[in-house]
A and B are shown apart, each in its own frame.
Chain A
Amino acid sequence: MKNKITSFQWGVLFMGLLGALVYFFYFRSLVIQAYENMGPEWLNKFIYTFYPRFFVEKHRFDPEFFLSKADQMVLRILVFLMIITIWGQKIYDRIFNRKFTSEFNLNVFRWVIYLSASLFYWDFLIELNKLNQIKEFYQPILFNKVFMTNFPSMNVLYILFGLMVFANILAFLNRWLIVFGLIFAFCFVLLQGVFLSFHKIDHGFATYIYCLLLFPLVGIIKKSTIQASSDYWPIRLIWVAITLSYLMSGLEKLTISGWNWFQPSTLKGYLSLHNTTLGLFVIQYEWLCVLLSIGGLVFQLGFVSILFRQKLLWFFVPAGIFFHFMTGQLFQITGLLSPWQLVYVFFIDWEKAWEIISNNGFLYKITNTKKG
């Protein structure tokens, strides 16, 4: 089928190109001005909102680093718009118009993400109480800049936490999923925001939060209108969000570090800073450092391919679990169960797995398939 590009798509691409030109001829110079504290006030406010650490990080890097970072952001958006314009419809069809889940799977997804949530938030109140002792240092980020401009009183935090637990239970029980799922996601994001508003920002819950925000949309699908499993589009959106997170991480490495990423000295440098037992072992072998650097990058850049070839899940799901396990061991930055691994639940066809297990046993099935 011929891929017809509409005038709207051309318009979007044109606006993107225009935006890129405006950036290169005007906004690019502002990056240097901001670096030298010579930028206009609105620019400082903009950076403070979207990249608050710039004012600290600039002491570690020269202006060229930030210029290249800004350049590649603009280029990435432009390339994204070009891809969407030219192949948007094809990509959409490949991603959304196919069988990928069932009611059975939705139940498993819901049980897992809402049951596991308590593992992540059980100590929130303990941690919030500690932060309350140093609330003078609270500096809200993004979402919290709107809803929590000052560190809230503990009573407010108790209420918010209670509401979160309440919504979590009801979402788990599939009661008004769209309402309680979103309330739960909202409270979780807000409380996470409090933790990240003390200057240390990390992305430990990034993909998990995407799932929390998107999964409740399943609640607006009318079961009576479902004709194909492709109607479960929120799940497919979750796939897109997770895979794009990996793709962006991979691109970030490639565009910022370039070929340096593949030099053994890069991984050796990181490992020596983290000083773990496994890391110190790996440092001794340069070939292993190169292999792990390549492997990590190939995994991150390649994960997105599961959107187009579902069979690749057999490789990427175990590879991803291994990737996060190794990251935890080498850098000591996550525990045994990382939220990044937990969201892999959405990639598994639990109905099929259940069928295989319940249908006279897994081994029996394999043996008979071979005979047949």
Chain B
Amino acid sequence: MRFGMFAEPIKSNNQLEIFYLGIKKAENVKMIKTDFLGLSEGQFNYLARDYYYKGRTTQLLETFWTKIPLQKDSLFLIKLLGNPSDTIIVGKYSI
């Protein structure tokens, strides 16, 4: 997932940034495919990125909580930056 335009000087560290939605039930954690949410990968990433950088991650997860008809204990927003070792959980939501 590349953000920005071709006219921007390339900085792979901050352009290669991928967001995932994780769901936890009991001790099982799995990633949710974006098409399950009715979004393409690109749409979801722009959406997640917007909410993340504007400090509204909880609001994003809260909305998805009502949209995902699966049994769950909590929802996570996960950010992958550059390589797998840079994976961090940037948001968590549960009732």
Contacts and interface: CB of A to CB of B under 8 A. Distances in A.
Contacts of A131: 38
B80 to A, nearest CB: 13
Contacts of B39: 130, 134, 198
A246 to B, nearest CB: 13
Nearest to A252: B7
Contacts of B6: 253, 270
Given A198-B43, A200-B43, A56 B50 contact: yes
Interface residues of B, number: 28
Interface in B30-49: 37-39, 42-43, 46-47, 49
Contact of A137 (B1, B5, B10, B47): B47
Contacts of A56: 49-50, 53-54
A274 B9 contact: no
Contacts of A75: none
A127 to B, nearest CB: 9
A270 B46 contact: no
B15 A273 contact: yes
Interface in A196-235: 198-200
A272 interface: yes
A287 to B, nearest CB: 19
Interface residues of A, number: 30
Name the prevailing secondary structure of the A interface residues.
Answer: helix
B47 A200 contact: yes
Given A133-B67, A134-B67, A270 B4 contact: no
A130 B38 contact: yes
A270 B10 contact: yes
Contacts of B10: 260, 265-266, 269-270
Contacts of A53: 50
Nearest to B43: A200
Nearest to A258: B9
A136 interface: yes
Contacts of A136: 63
Contacts of B93: none
A60 B2 contact: no
A355 interface: no
Contacts of B46: 198-200
A134 B2 contact: no
A60 B50 CA distance: 12
A174 B8 CA distance: 43
Contact of B5 (A134, A252, A272, A274): A252
In order of increasing CB-CB distance, the 9 nearest A-B pairs are A269-B10, A200-B46, A252-B7, A130-B38, A199-B46, A273-B2, A199-B50, A60-B14, A56-B53
11 contacts: A56-B49, A57-B3, A60-B15, A133-B67, A134-B63, A249-B7, A256-B7, A257-B8, A260-B9, A265-B10, A274-B2
